[in-house]
Amino acid sequence: MFGFLKGLGVTLSQLPRKKVTLQYPDVRPEWPERFRGVHRFIPELCIVCHQCARICPTSCISLSGTRDENRKMRIDTFDINFDICILCDLCTEVCPTEAILMSDTFELADYTRDSMYLDMHWLYENQLRYERAHPDRVTRPAGGEQAGEA
Ligand code: SF4
Ligand code: SF4
């Protein structure tokens, strides 16, 4: 009996407290700026140096590029296999131009593994979504000549 009353007391003491759980997915979490979610990518900043692919511990980045008329390397394809990406952040750490960055996107669950292969266009769309959601965090000017985090 004492144990029951003790347990009931603990339960009642929690009732007036502020709730820490969210009614996800109706209420979505606000992740901190350094949250390591699915990448975003800015194609015009990529110099095709392959550093991200080389450092990736799971070899889940594949990319290709060609030289343009000014002999600058331009990215043609950039794919990440999120089936095996461990969101370790190493690729964004080594990128010299901040072309690849982490975002707060975290929902990739699906019924097929094929949907885990995300290409340059999806990753750029994720960049645009991130810019819309967090204009205070992104200082990339219109036209995308340079990028930087606020
Ligand atoms: S976060 Fe880590 S595992 Fe994922 S692509 Fe980047 S380096 Fe590879
Ligand atoms: S994303 Fe960054 S590290 Fe990867 S190839 Fe492009 S410039 Fe190099």
Q: What is the pLDDT of residue 149?
A: 45
Which ligand minimizes its atom distance to the CA of 95?
Answer: 2
Q: What is the pLDDT of residue 103?
A: 96
Residue 79 has which token pair?
């794919």
In the reported structure, the alpha carbon of residue 89 is separated from the centroid of ligand 1 by a whole-number distance in angstroms of 6
Give the residue numbers spanning the domain of 73: 31-133
Q: What is the pLDDT of residue 140?
A: 67
Q: Is 100 in the pocket of ligand 2 (CB under 6 A)?
A: yes
Dihedral pair phi/psi, residue 76, rounded to 5°? -105, -50
> What pLDDT, in 10s, does the model give residues 44-75?
999 999 999 999 999 999 999 999 999 999 99
In the reported structure, the alpha carbon of residue 50 is separated from the centroid of ligand 2 by a whole-number distance in angstroms of 6
Q: How many CA atoms lie within 13 A of 59 on its CB side?
A: 0
Any domain includes 71: yes
User: Which CATH number belongs to the domain containing residue 105 in this structure?
Assistant: 3.30.70.3270
- The residue type of 52 is C
Q: Is 49 in the pocket of ligand 2 (CB under 6 A)?
A: yes
Any domain includes 4: no
Q: What is the pLDDT of residue 50?
A: 98
Residues near 14 by Cβ (< 8 Å), separated by ≥ 6?
none
Are the CB atoms for 76 and 66 separated by under 8 Å? yes
Cβ count near 41 (within 10 Å) = 26
Any domain includes 127: yes
Dihedral pair phi/psi, residue 149, rounded to 5°? -95, 140
In the reported structure, the alpha carbon of residue 88 is separated from the centroid of ligand 2 by a whole-number distance in angstroms of 16
User: What stretches in the chain show pLDDT beneath 70?
Assistant: 140-150
Domain count, the chain: 1
Residue 55 has which token pair?
């450092």
Any domain includes 144: no
Are the CB atoms for 47 and 96 separated by under 8 Å? yes
Binding-site residue numbers for [4Fe-4S] cluster are 46, 49, 52, 56, 85, 88, 91, 95
Dihedral pair phi/psi, residue 80, rounded to 5°? -125, 130
Q: What is the pLDDT of residue 1?
A: 80
Q: What is the pLDDT of residue 23?
A: 92
Q: What is the pLDDT of residue 119?
A: 97
